[in-house]
Amino acid sequence: MVKKILRSTYLWLILIFLYAPVVLLVVYSFNASTEIGSWSKEWNFSLYKMLFTDSKILNAIKNTVLLALSSAAISTILGTVGAIGMFYSKPRTFRIFNTVTQIPIVNAEIVTAISLALVCSMLLFPRTYGSLLLAHVVLTFPFVVTSVLPKLKQMDPNLYEAGLDLGASPMKALFTVTIPEIMPGIASGFMLAITLSLDDYIITNFTKPSTIDTISTYAYNAYAKNSANTSIPALRALSAIIFAVIIISVVAVNLSANRTVKEREASK
Amino acid sequence: MGVALRFSRKHLGIPYALFLAVFVLFPLVLIVIYAFTDANGVPTFNNFTDFFSRSSNLYVLLISFVLAVLTTAICLLIAYPVAYILARSGAKKRSVYLLLFILPMWINFVLRTAAMKELLFALDGLGVYNVTDWYFVNTVIGMVYDYLPFTILPIYTVLIKIDKNVIEASNDLGANSAQTFLRTTLPLSMPGIVSAITMVLLPTTTSYVISDTLGNSKVTIIGKLIENQFNIGTADSWHTGSAISLILLFFIFGTMLLSGKFTENTNTRGGGLW
């Protein structure tokens, strides 16, 4: 019993450490004070008003979301094509493909970032939205490949052959047999790509044009370069909103997962 | 041989190989070229000798090393008991707790780090902390805070897979719980520990967002050093930056080859969330 209490206490202490900073921001986001540590008597939404009238932050949010969605979409197609291509190659070719695919995963982000910056300058390719998009594809596609490969391994190879025997062209069999079969892997690869893109700072910083900011680069400039930045209070409100969105989506995902489990059990 | 090639699934590897060649391998080749040439394109070793002859650079290496070892050790010490307790809890409790530990990873990395800065400033305001002077401690706290979930997950994944019968066998053979832990559980969870170390060690030496935000620009790590070279923009600095990157690459791939990381899936960076 004592052991049990000790264990729970330990877990909760660590959880407090992990959540204290964010909870503090959430609490302060409803206070009129723009400085943490000093309470204002007023509790209101003034910081949220600041956030929603700050066109630079709003633009950064829009850029971040669009970049995450578009780069994840491209990565998902590229990663799926790559995973299928390499999986059905000779074992030796597969190994080479697999090793090269792992490079951006194991490499330090700063090295990937400067290597892409070098490519831009070498090809006299100005840093544009295009270079930024491409960099995020390089950042995320290996994770799509590593999500799709296990599904290809689990797949019954006879299904595709059966499709061919029943008269489907290889292309048709690919789209009607293989792709639906590995869809869970493709979907989780897509979600993973989105989360990685949303989180990135270093690669973004080295490949973006100076006119574009994402949440990461904007927050970095506000907090790391200039602690007296006037948009910091508005970023508190943004952190609170992001935290709320995460909690809501996690709860929603879990509820729907529970429901499908129950439905499956009910239909048995 | 027909003129038109019949489509086969492995042909999808061709466009993929092109992409890998142009956007993964070619950029790395460029780093190598830059590292071994000067601003006029003349081959040279000066970028390397310059790097090692400057004491400020060696200091950066030392700070990075200390920071990395310290952060990794603290993360492991905190994470192992968490993973251990989670792995031994009931299934339902386990999944809820696990979610609670993973959830903070979804908040934007820069904002999360900034939140820690705000908390430390608040503690400073209460008089229990000193943000301005304890910049190294700030950085360690920030790094532990950011990377702790990444340490818990791989250890938990390994612990949960350990066959309960092995533990029982150890108990049956007369080992007490401490012996069982030290001689059975701990050795069996080694792969998780190694994977946790590789997850934390590299970002702590290269991901300079945390040291910039919390270190009051007094903590410079290798990643920051490389970034500086590319921001100065003098004729030689890009070549110096590439040389440092190449040294770093050498270490990264050396460690990866040694730990056999290349062969297994390293999908835990995203947290194995999906």
User: CA torsion A9→A15→A18→A20, rounded to 10°?
Assistant: -80
Using H for helix, E for strand and C for coil, what is the string for A21-50? Answer: HHHHHHHHHCECCCCCCCCCCCECCHHHHH
Paired with A31 in beta bridges are A43
Contact A214/A205 with Cβ under 8 angstroms? Answer: no
Q: Is residue B53 assigned to a domain? A: no
Contact B262/B205 with Cβ under 8 angstroms? Answer: no
Residue (of B125, B112, B150) closest to A19 by Cα position: B112
Paired with B43 in beta bridges are B37
Q: What is the pLDDT of residue B1?
A: 43
Would you say residue B143 has pLDDT above 80? yes
Kindly state the average pLDDT of the residues A57-66. Answer: 95
CB contact under 8 A, A100 and B25: yes
- Say whether residue A107 is in contact with chain B using an 8 A CB cutoff: yes
- Please report where in the chains the tokens 């009051």 appear, as a residue: B216
Kindly state the average pLDDT of the residues B42-46. Answer: 88
Q: What is the pLDDT of residue B5?
A: 61
- Which of A143-147, B15-19, B117-121, B270-274 is least confident? B270-274
CB contact under 8 A, B107 and A246: yes
From first CA to last CA, the distance across chain B in angstroms is 45
CB contact under 8 A, A191 and B212: no
Query: For chain A, what percent of residues have pLDDT higher than 90?
Result: 63
CB contact under 8 A, B13 and A106: no
Kindly state the average pLDDT of the residues A121-147. Answer: 90
Kindly state the average pLDDT of the residues B140-145. Answer: 95
Would you say residue A223 has pLDDT above 90? no
Residue B263: which pLDDT band, with cuts at 50, 70 and 90?
very low
Mutate to test the interface with A, among B23, B33, B76, B116 (most CBs of A within 10 A): B23
Residue B68: which pLDDT band, with cuts at 50, 70 and 90?
very high
Please give the Cα distance from B250 to A86 (Å, whole number): 27
**B-chain residue closest to A100, CA distance:** B20
Residue B265: which pLDDT band, with cuts at 50, 70 and 90?
very low
Rounded to the nearest 5 degrees, what angle is found at the Cα of A143, between the Cα atoms of B221 and B73? 40
Residue B251: which pLDDT band, with cuts at 50, 70 and 90?
confident
Q: What is the pLDDT of residue B271?
A: 41
Contact A105/B266 with Cβ under 8 angstroms? Answer: yes
**A-chain residue closest to B114, CA distance:** A223
Judging contacts by C-beta atoms under 8 Å, the chain B residues touching residue A246 are 103, 106-107
Of A98, A100, A219, the CB nearest to B111: A219
Please give the Cα distance from A89 to B52 (Å, whole number): 44
Q: How far is CA A175 from CA A72, A84, A86, A158, B53, in A?
A: 20, 12, 17, 15, 59
- Say whether residue A151 is in contact with chain B using an 8 A CB cutoff: no
Would you say residue A123 has pLDDT above 80? no
A 159-218 → B contacts, CB under 8 A:
160, 169-171, 174, 178, 187-188, 191-192, 195-196, 198-202, 206, 215-216
Q: What is the pLDDT of residue B269?
A: 45
Kindly state the average pLDDT of the residues A4-30. Answer: 92
Strand, coil or helix: B170:
helix
Q: What is the pLDDT of residue A226?
A: 63
Contact A118/B30 with Cβ under 8 angstroms? Answer: yes
Q: Is residue B55 assigned to a domain? A: no
Which residue type sits at B240? Answer: T
Average pLDDT across chain B, whole number: 86
Please give the Cα distance from A83 to A144 (Å, whole number): 8
Q: Is residue B139 assigned to a domain? A: yes
Please give the Cα distance from B245 to B239 (Å, whole number): 10
For chain A, the structural domain boundaries read: 60-216, 230-268
Mutate to test the interface with B, among A6, A9, A18 (most CBs of B within 10 A): A18
Please give the Cα distance from A197 to A138 (Å, whole number): 10
Rounded to the nearest 5 degrees, what angle is found at the Cα of A200, between the Cα atoms of B34 and A94? 65
CB contact under 8 A, A238 and B111: yes
Q: What is the CATH number of the domain that holds B179?
A: 1.10.3720.10
- Please report where in the chains the tokens 């209490």 appear, as a residue: A5
Q: What is the pLDDT of residues B181-238, one digit of tens each?
A: 888 888 889 989 988 988 898 889 998 999 999 988 888 999 999 998 888 767 688 8
Residue B258: which pLDDT band, with cuts at 50, 70 and 90?
confident
Q: What is the pLDDT of residue B85?
A: 93
CB contact under 8 A, B118 and A115: no
Of B107, B208, B213, the CB nearest to A22: B107
- Say whether residue A31 is in contact with chain B using an 8 A CB cutoff: no
Superfamily, domain A60-216: MetI-like (1.10.3720.10)
Q: What is the pLDDT of residue A11?
A: 94
Average pLDDT across chain A, whole number: 89
- Which of A26-40, A216-230, B80-94 is least confident? A26-40
Residue B270: which pLDDT band, with cuts at 50, 70 and 90?
very low
Judging contacts by C-beta atoms under 8 Å, the chain B residues touching residue A17 are 145, 148
Which residue type sits at B206? Answer: T
Residue (of B79, B28, B82, B274) closest to B195 by Cα position: B79
Kindly state the average pLDDT of the residues A21-42. Answer: 80
**B-chain residue closest to A87, CA distance:** B10
**A-chain residue closest to B227, CA distance:** A110
Would you say residue B266 has pLDDT above 70? no
Q: What is the pLDDT of residues A100-116, one digit of tens each?
A: 999 999 899 999 999 99
Please give the Cα distance from A152 to A178 (Å, whole number): 8
Mutate to test the interface with A, among B118, B119, B126 (most CBs of A within 10 A): B118
User: CA torsion A27→A30→A32→A38, rounded to 10°?
Assistant: 0
Would you say residue A210 has pLDDT above 80? yes
Rounded to a whole number, what is the distance in Å from the CA of A268 to chain B's nearest CA? 23
Q: Is residue B259 assigned to a domain? A: no
Q: Is residue B32 assigned to a domain? A: no
Q: What is the pLDDT of residue A71?
A: 97
Range of the domain at B184: 65-233
Mutate to test the interface with B, among A111, A160, A213, A241 (most CBs of B within 10 A): A111
Rounded to a whole number, what is the distance in Å from the CA of B10 to chain A's nearest CA? 4
Q: What is the pLDDT of residues B195-204, one digit of tens each?
A: 898 889 888 9
Q: How far is CA B12 from CA A164, B9, B19, in A?
A: 18, 6, 12
**A-chain residue closest to B149, CA distance:** A18
Q: What is the pLDDT of residue A251?
A: 86
Please give the Cα distance from A174 to A228 (Å, whole number): 56
Count of structural domains, chain B: 1
Q: Between A and B, how many CB-CB pairs are < 8 A?
A: 258
Residue A264: which pLDDT band, with cuts at 50, 70 and 90?
confident
